[in-house]
Amino acid sequence: MTTLSEKDKNIVKTFWAKVAGREEQIGCDAVSRMLTVYPQTKTYFSHWKDLSPGSDPVRKHGGIVMAAVTDAVSKTDDLTGALLSLSELHAFTLRVDPANFKVLSHNLLVVLSTTFSNDFTPEVHVAIDKFLTAVALALSEKYR
């Protein structure tokens, strides 16, 4: 869609300061929800022993995903560059259908809403949604 405005980037960075220290819990919750609410996403994790909400592999993966998203928050001026190797990984090795990026994004937004309710205003929501869409786009760069 559109590029992120300076206002969007500032809103995202300001809000993300609240996330500090809770990345693993939030990431764990988001991945747990994704697997529960959108079971088709489980097909990518058939190699895990335990796909239940909050399980060890889920928690670990949530942490990895959130670390990458947090890193992207600090690199909003060049998301394509920042996510280059992750894009190659998702495109050539993991081969995740990019439609699923939106699914995980939605679940992350829901977790932010349950965790930060009043602070997750519509204004913050739209900025973060735009940011996650831009991240998803950068992740899709190397697909074709």
Partner 1 sequence: MVAWTDFERVTIKDIFSKIDYEVVGPAAISRCLIVYPWTQRYFAGFGNLYNAAAIKSNPKVAAHGKVIMEGLEKAVKNMDNIKATFTELSTLHSEKLQVDPDNFMLLGDCLAIVVAAQLGKDFTPEVHAAFQKFLAVVVSSLRRQYY
Which residues lie near partner 1 (CB under 8 A)? 29, 32-33, 35-38, 53, 106, 109-110, 113-114, 117-118, 120, 122-123, 125-126, 129
Nearer to partner 1, 34 or 69 (CB): 34
Minimum gap (Å) between residue 7 Cβ and partner 1: 12
Q: How far is CA 73 from CA 4, 15, 32, 51, 55, in A?
A: 12, 10, 22, 28, 27
Minimum gap (Å) between residue 109 Cβ and partner 1: 6
Nearer to partner 1, 129 or 141 (CB): 129
Minimum gap (Å) between residue 18 Cβ and partner 1: 15
Minimum gap (Å) between residue 127 Cβ and partner 1: 10
Report the C-alpha dihedral over residues 64, 32, 79, 13, rounded to 10 degrees.
-90
Q: d(Cα 79, Cα 8) in Å, to the nearest integer?
A: 14
What is residue 100's three-state secondary structure?
Answer: helix
Nearer to partner 1, 84 or 109 (CB): 109
Residue 124, CB-side half-sphere exposure with 13 Å CA sphere? 17
Minimum gap (Å) between residue 52 Cβ and partner 1: 9
Nearer to partner 1, 79 or 127 (CB): 127
Q: How far is CA 11 from CA 7, 25, 115, 128, 141, in A?
A: 6, 22, 17, 8, 25
Nearer to partner 1, 106 or 142 (CB): 106
